[in-house]
Amino acid sequence: MIQHRLRLTLDMIKFEHSVFALPFALTGALLAFRDGGYGTSGLWRTLGWIVVAMVGARSAAMTFNRIVDSSIDARNPRTKMRHLPAGLLSQSFGWCFTLAASAVFVLAAWQLNRLCLILSPLALGIVFFYSYTKRFTALSHLVLGFSLGIAPAAAWIAVRGALDPRILWLTAAVTFWTGGFDVIYSCQDYEFDRAAGLFSLPRLMGIARALRVAQALHLLMIVCLAALVATLHLGVLAMAGVAAIGGLLIYEHSLVKPHDLSRVNAAFFNMNGYVSVLFFVFWAADIFLFKPGA
C-alpha cells in the first residue's frame, strides 16, 4: 500500500521533471569547482548531496503546491483529475510526504556545509511561498522562476561555502527562463483564471501579449547567460551552448500561437527538458576543456 501511494506521489509531482532545474544546479556546482581551481577533494560526495538536496526540495515544493491548490484544481477542468482532487491520494499522506522530503533536503544541506544548513529553512520558505502567489499577483511566474533560480547559487555555496555575486547571473537566467515557460503554460488556464479570480499574466494582459512577455523573458535569459560567460571568462563551448539554447527557445515559441495552444505541452515539457540538458552538456564540456590559464 505504501509503495503504491509512493508511486502515485511521484507521478503527482512529475518526479521525472526534476531534469528542468537539476542541470542548472550541477552547472552552478561545476562553475564553483572551476573557480576553486579544480580541486577534486570531496567533489563527488558534494555533487551527490546536491542531487539529494535538489530532489528533496523539489519533491517537497511540488507536493505542498498540490495540497495548497487541491481545492482550485478540483474546479479546473484541466486539473480536476490530479491525484488529490480525484481522491487517489489523501491530504494527510501528502503532508507526510512533504515533511519527509523537507527532512531529506535539510539532511542534505547539513551534509554539505554549515551555511547550506543555515539557509535551508529560507530555501524551503521560498519554494513553499510560490504556491500562494497566484492568489494575489500576476508576477507569480517570476516567483516560480526564482524558486528554481536559487538552485545554482545554492550549489555554488555547497561547493565553495560562500556566495559569489557572479553566480547570480545564472540565478537570473533560470528565473527568466522558468518565468517565460510558465507564462506559456498558464495560457491554458486563461478562462479558468478569469472565472476563479486567480492572477496570471495571460489573465492580466491577454494571451497574445503574455506570449510576447514570455519571449522577452527568454531573451533576458540569453542576455544573463552571455553576461555570465563574460564575467567568468568561459570559453567558446559555453557561448555555443547559449546560442543553441537561443535556437531551442525560438523553436519553442514557434509551437505556441495565441489562437492555437494545442502544442503547449510539447513546448513546455519537451523543449525545456532539452534546454536544461543541452545547457549542462555544453557548459560542463567548456568547464573541463577550457581551463583558465591552460
229 closest CA partner among 182, 276, 282: 282
What integer pLDDT is reported at residue 220 of this predicted model? 98
**How many domains are there within the chain?**
1
Residue 294 has pLDDT above 60, yes or no: no
Report if residue 229 sits inside a domain.
Answer: yes
Question: What tens digit of pLDDT does each residue of 235-249 get?
Answer: 999 999 999 999 999
Average pLDDT (211-239) is 97
Helix axes 140-160, 43-68, angle to 10 degrees: 160
Band the pLDDT of 48: cuts 50, 70, 90.
very high
Report if residue 292 sits inside a domain.
Answer: no
Q: Which residue has the higher pLDDT, 63 or 266?
A: 63
Question: What tens digit of pLDDT does each residue of 113-156 get?
Answer: 999 999 999 999 999 999 999 999 999 999 999 999 999 999 99
Report if residue 263 sits inside a domain.
Answer: yes
Q: Among the listed ranges 1-10, 99-108, 128-137, 263-272, which one has the minimum average pLDDT value?
A: 1-10
Q: In whole angstroms, what is the distance from residue 67 CA to residue 99 CA?
A: 12
Question: Long-range contacts for 83-87 (Cβ within 8 Å, ≥24 apart)?
Answer: 83/8, 83/9, 83/11, 83/12, 84/12
Average pLDDT (66-85) is 93
Q: Among the listed ranges 9-18, 21-30, 245-254, 259-268, which one has the minimum average pLDDT value?
A: 9-18
Q: Is 235 helix (H, G, I), strand (E, B) or coil?
A: coil
Contact, 150 vs 213, CB < 8 A? no
Query: Partners of 108 in the beta sheet?
Result: none
Percent share of the chain, pLDDT over 70: 97
Report if residue 99 sits inside a domain.
Answer: yes
Report if residue 243 sits inside a domain.
Answer: yes
Report if residue 138 sits inside a domain.
Answer: yes
Q: Which residue has the higher pLDDT, 267 or 187?
A: 187
Return the C-alpha cell found at 114.
Answer: 554549515
Band the pLDDT of 1: cuts 50, 70, 90.
low
Average pLDDT (217-236) is 97
Domain range for residue 234?
2-287
Report if residue 168 sits inside a domain.
Answer: yes
Average pLDDT (84-96) is 90
Which CATH number do you get for residue 58? 1.10.357.140
Average pLDDT (81-105) is 92
Return the C-alpha cell found at 185.
Answer: 503554460
Helix axes 2-12, 91-112, angle to 10 degrees: 80
283 closest CA partner among 15, 47, 16, 32: 32
Average pLDDT (13-30) is 84
> Cβ–Cβ contacts within 10 Å for residue 129, how many?
14
Return the C-alpha cell found at 286.
Answer: 567548456
Q: Is 273 helix (H, G, I), strand (E, B) or coil?
A: helix
* List of residues 6+ apart from 72 with CB closer than 8 A: 79, 196, 198
Dump the DSSP string for 81-94.
TSTTTTTSS-HHHH
40 closest CA partner among 28, 27, 55, 29: 29
Residue 4 has pLDDT above 80, yes or no: no
Average pLDDT (87-96) is 91
Q: In whole angstroms, what is the distance from residue 179 CA to residue 193 CA?
A: 17
Band the pLDDT of 39: cuts 50, 70, 90.
confident
Residue 282's alpha-carbon distances to 50, 95, 147, 269, 274, in angstroms, are 20, 39, 24, 20, 12
Contact, 109 vs 53, CB < 8 A? yes
What integer pLDDT is reported at residue 10 of this predicted model? 75
Question: What tens digit of pLDDT does each residue of 246-265 get?
Answer: 999 999 999 999 999 888 88
**C-alpha 189: how far from its chain's center?**
20
Residue tagged 543553441 (cell numbers): 244
Residue 68's alpha-carbon distances to 20, 62, 84, 163, in angstroms, are 22, 10, 10, 32
Report if residue 128 sits inside a domain.
Answer: yes
Residue tagged 511540488 (cell numbers): 62
